Chain A
Amino acid sequence: MPATQRDESNLLDAGVLARIRGMDLLARTVVEGFVLGLHRSPFRGFSVEFAEYRPYVPGDDIKHIDWRVYARTDRHYLKLYEEETNLSCQLVLDASASMGDTPAGPVSKLGYATRLCACLAYFMTRQRDAVGLTIFDRKVRQTLPARLRSSHLQRILSELESCTAGAATDLAAPLHQAAEVMERSGMIMLVSDFLADLDGLEIALQHLRHVGHDLIAFQILSPDEREFPFEGDVEFTDPETGLVRRVSGRSVRDTYRSALAAHQERLATILAGARVDHVLIGTDEPLQVALAAYLHRRSLRPS
């Protein structure tokens, strides 16, 4: 169940977040609020740090039965531990020029994406997962390998805070590079608007999957890009290619939506083929949506 439907009172909308300056504070606010909204932590597993007992039910692995308790109580209990993993997560952030445009809304796509990455990084660190950051546009501009240290988190947040939009997008090459950088299998979270040429993306994703990474693709689109609400005559300029189109908003709306739907369908096909979770988020939606998606994917990953 998405977080947005779980407890709306704990969610901060994009407008509020846009007014929070520091990435640390922002991530803390979002994540703490998100965690408080969870009634039961789903991250109970079988690790080294004891957490609690629970009654045995058929199907449970009998190796986790605490025989000492059985001896005392003549009942079967499983011994549960706090999960303590070293899952390695890499945030791959698209900082191309198309992410920087702000036709409408409180924040740009890049601003929303950096906040999203900050929240994810904070949340993963809190969950004791190692987290790294890759920023790219046409090529990889910055790479921070995954680490599980608070100082590393601060560096990630600092990089995110200073991130600006760059040149045109090339999705394939940075992903190939990320696959090479991550030494062991982990989780890669690709944050982009995917408004770029999708050729080569499928191969890059297959490359990542081949290495053994789990992937989540967060697609950030502004409401204008999704709805195309423009009226009257508008001259649009593509921030990456410089392409100029002078159109009447109402007359091209259907055409635009059809073209966008075709693009999205192709993207979904590519992502589905690579077994990549596709999470479409609008810049007007709460950040918790992305956290919920991460948790969902994390829960499916075998311990």
Chain B
Amino acid sequence: MNFLYGGMLGWTALAAVPIVIHWLLRDRIRRLTFGGTRFLGVVERQATARKLWLETVLMLLRAALVALLVIAIARPYLTSALGMQPTAVLLIDCSRSMQPGGRFDRAVAAARDVLGQLPGSERVLIGAVGSTASPDLVQARDAADAAQLLGRMRPDGGVGNLVGALNAAVARCGSQPSAIHLISALAGSGFPATEHVVPVPPTCRLVIHDVGGAGDLPPATVGLTAELAARELTPGAGNLAVAVRLVNRGAARSVTVRIADAAGTLDEQTVPMTQDGTSTLTLHGSLMTVGEVPLMVTIPGAPTVLEEDGTFRLVARVVERIHLAVVDGHPASDHAQDPAYFVLAALAAVSGRSYAVDRCESIPPLDGYQGLIVAGPRALAASEVQRIAGFVASGGGLLIILDPGLDPQQLNPALGVLAPARVRGWHSGDVTLGATALGAERFSGILGGQDDALSVARFSGSADLTDAQGSQILLRFSDQRPALVMAHCGQGVSMLLATALDRSVGDFPLRPLFLPLVQELVRALHAGSDHSLTQVTGADLALGPGDRLLGPLPLAAADGASHPQPAGGNASSGVDAGGQLRAATPGFYQLTHLQTTTLLAVNGDPAAVASPSLSSRDVEQLVGGSAVGLHATGHGLERVLGADEVRQAELRLGLGHWCLVLISVLLVLELALSQSVSRR
């Protein structure tokens, strides 16, 4: 028998209260000289003894009632039933997050401790938590076999599927009494971030042994991720922008972040760090050579959580020209009224170096284009929308620039899911532009650290956008309405600008900031999703027949001393593939697909950086809202049943009903006895 709320059992000491009350209020014998003593029969001596006995029984009954009430509140339930052998399941996290700092060794040691505390009659199942959805649970024949199973375990470098492992263990245990010991490093395991609910039955006890945490990290550990501002670049000075996100996992006060390619360091910046906080910065550089350029972001002198070698890898693709199509929704003879005129003019200013721009009056065939700008759209045919959707899904960028002539009744159905927001109508009134936090990061190159730099952009009218949930709002009007909304669609992006870029609503096209803003908008157009160029270790790659994955390649920056290549490869690298493969080791890989060879940057799991210094309390808070609750124990976290599971436990194996029946019987007995005693 076990208790859902075992801590309540301490209150059974309250059973002493009836005993104390009985002792305090017991009848004290009075001694009297009484002339009528002769009328008291001798049989009354026995009645007195009987009364004393009844009072003692009543006292014990009341003490038992109190104790039973406490036990009922503690929710007892059966943990063993006839013919059921208790089972202990040991799930040892073998994912990549267990590699640093000797975590895996500690996990194995913790597993051995658990094994040492188990009774010999208990069945032991051992499983390695990896990236597979349902790990194999091997039953150990005896203690020696269990030790051998533990000794053969190695971290596989993949992403640990803890929820899958837990579900497998629960499914294997069924309704049998069991205990699941999950041994992992909560920091970076990704477990707390999961939204899945593990339906652990009430007969099962879940104990999470945290062998990681901030304690095993070096004091200056900093998490690091980076993202290219644009997936494809054209050769030119300052064409490279990399957004870097830093998570302080230790006590670093400031760090220096460096980006380098094979030729040497491109940029280096020092950024202050807050304790357990996050910092962002943008590194810039110039890539002049057309082709795929491996880039490495490093923090010299500071170990990172993400990689053992302290490097985040990127692949930038430099192309000669970026082809854009600008569709003029309603051409006008007056340039000031033409919605595409000033955009074309701005692109023409730089088209000689980077952009090849085609002006169209309808949606052209989109093959060969990286971006599509639709200025002042009125209505789009279904076939055109279908072509645009395919274009965006395959990695193209779409920018829709609204103007006062828009008709929401026609525009919204035509754009459908392409638009990141819906248009409600045109709103007249003077507004200015301002960048959101996300926009400030995106447009940091033109804002120069001043968030109000865009306030020079004044407009006499703007479109009302709605239903922008799920999209990223980069710019807002001064009245806080969305001005520029972006959403990822497939591998491309779709953006919606809620005002016109012509002279009909203001003089912004004449302002110096107009040209760089258009350039940034276009850059964002072909930033797209760079998943095709970067991967996470352990993530599955969908490869077709004949595809080849080679690596990790012996690439290093010119100052390679600061970021050495990881040793060795893995079983999946360099093998002809026709299915799912994984790159287990960080590095640059060469992916050959349909006679095309691309460079692939493989980095560690970003979730490891996104979850700074997890503690037991963090886990509680993260999963506290779900049906699974955890609380800290002496050696880890132990599961507490949720309300629904309590009901299930009571219905299936709980002894609460029997407690209530017993309490009722005792109450009836108590009433009868107290009546009998009071009559005496």
Contact = CB atoms under 8 A, between A and B. Distances in A.
A263 B27 CA distance: 30
Interface residues of B, number: 24
A46 interface: no
Given A247-B45, A255-B41, A256-B39, A103 B32 contact: yes
A150 B51 CA distance: 59
A98 B35 contact: yes
B36 interface: yes
Given A103-B34, A245-B37, A235 B29 contact: yes
A263 to B, nearest CB: 7
A269 B95 CA distance: 107
Interface stretch (A72-80, A114-122, A224-232): A224-232
A235 B30 contact: yes
A236 B47 contact: no
A100 B439 CA distance: 108
Contact of A256 (B31, B36, B42, B47): B36
A195 B41 contact: no
A63 to B, nearest CB: 53
B40 A245 contact: yes
B678 to A, nearest CB: 8
Given A236-B40, A245-B40, A252-B47, A101 B31 contact: no
A109 interface: yes
Contacts of B28: 232-233
Given A248-B48, A251-B680, A235 B41 contact: no
Interface in B14-69: 27-42, 44-45, 47-48, 51
A195 B679 contact: no
A39 interface: no
A6 B389 CA distance: 119
Interface in A121-160: none
Contacts of A235: 29-32
A82 interface: no
A252 B44 contact: yes
Contact of A103 (B33, B40, B47): B33
B33 A259 contact: no
A247 B48 contact: yes
Nearest to B678: A250
A281 B33 CA distance: 20
Given A247-B45, A252-B44, A195 B38 contact: yes
A236 B33 CA distance: 6
A237 to B, nearest CB: 5
Given A248-B680, A250-B680, A237 B31 contact: yes
B29 A233 contact: yes
A225 B28 CA distance: 21
B38 A224 contact: no
- Name the interface size band of chain A: 35 or more
A19 interface: no
Given A232-B28, A233-B30, A233-B48, A247 B40 contact: yes
B44 A243 contact: no
B36 A228 contact: yes
Contacts of B42: 245
B360 to A, nearest CB: 109
Nearest to B680: A251
A24 interface: no
B37 A238 contact: yes
B28 to A, nearest CB: 7
Nearest to B42: A245
A225 B38 CA distance: 11
Contacts of B27: 232-233, 248
Contacts of A244: 37
A234 interface: yes
A241 interface: yes
B41 A237 contact: no
A243 B32 CA distance: 12
A22 B167 CA distance: 101
B40 A101 contact: no
Interface string A260-284: 1001000000000000000000000
A193 interface: yes
B36 A260 contact: yes
Contacts of A245: 37, 40, 42, 44-45
A259 B51 contact: no
A246 B34 CA distance: 12
Given A232-B27, A234-B30, A251-B680, A241 B38 contact: yes
Contacts of A250: 678-680
A239 B35 contact: yes
Contact of B40 (A193, A240, A252, A263): A252
Contact of B37 (A193, A236, A251, A263): A236
Contact of B679 (A225, A251, A259): A251
B663 to A, nearest CB: 29
B30 to A, nearest CB: 5
B34 A224 contact: yes
B53 to A, nearest CB: 12
17 contacts: A98-B35, A101-B32, A101-B33, A101-B34, A193-B35, A225-B34, A225-B36, A234-B30, A234-B32, A236-B32, A245-B42, A245-B45, A248-B44, A248-B51, A251-B44, A251-B48, A263-B39
Interface of A: 98-99, 101, 103, 109, 193, 195, 222, 224-225, 228, 230, 232-241, 243-248, 250-252, 255-256, 259-260, 263
Given A101-B35, A195-B36, 11 more contacts: A235-B32, A238-B38, A243-B37, A245-B44, A246-B45, A247-B47, A248-B51, A251-B48, A255-B40, A255-B44, A260-B36
Nearest 9 CB-CB pairings of A with B: A259-B39, A251-B680, A238-B37, A98-B35, A232-B27, A245-B40, A236-B34, A247-B44, A236-B37
